[in-house]
Amino acid sequence: MDAKYWKKLSVPLILEALFIVSTFLFPKQALYTKLIFVIAVIVWLHDEFSFRRFLRQFRNVRGFILPVAAGCAGMLVCYFLREYFDGTVWMGKATGMIQIWYRGVPQTALFYFMTIALVPLAEELFFRGAAITFKSGRGIAVLTAVIGAFLCALTTMLGTVGILQILLMAIPLVVTYLVTENLYVPITIHYIYAICITVPEIIYEALRLALR
């Protein structure tokens, strides 16, 4: 892990620390502080992502399409495992979730736009792309992958159970990146997962607001 690695990682780490602190100081402004956090991460790490390179990935069956399919299947398995644990060993235990407060149409739209469009990209650029290094051997790659997943959990959950939930859901993202060393794989898996989880919520919120 050389100076270039730490230079790339230093700013996102500072941004994450500031975001977490802000959730205690200004809890009702968490929507906006989270938005600033994810945008700042994307801007800082924008060189790691190219939309043109992303589109070219769809020609790569072995190195992209198959790992994405396997990762999506893994996310489904991990989702049902989390649901099982939530109903058994984790039932009734506090997750320490960081609450994102929003109300009304503008804030609701902003929240779901951030959740679907910005958070998957920001998290994968930071917690996989910047955090994981392959230059110091496989052992260091796995170690930095675990640390990256833990750091990712802290942006959503601050309780032990909540962190374990996020770590469980991170397994397919981490494994597919370690195997392929292709950041576009976990980015795509994360986007697919975010869409599948969030779109039903959007439909529910739209109906709820319409029927007020």
Q: Report the percent of the chain where pLDDT is more than 70.
A: 100
So what's the pLDDT on residue 16? Answer: 98
Q: What is residue 157's three-state secondary structure?
A: strand
Instruction: Please list the alpha-helical segments (H only) found in the chain.
Output: 3-25, 30-44, 51-56, 66-86, 104-113, 119-123, 138-154, 160-180, 184-210
So what's the pLDDT on residue 204? Answer: 87
So what's the pLDDT on residue 88? Answer: 95
Residues of the chain with pLDDT under 70: none
So what's the pLDDT on residue 3? Answer: 83
Give the tens place of pLDDT for each residue, 12-49: 999 999 999 999 999 999 999 999 999 999 999 999 99
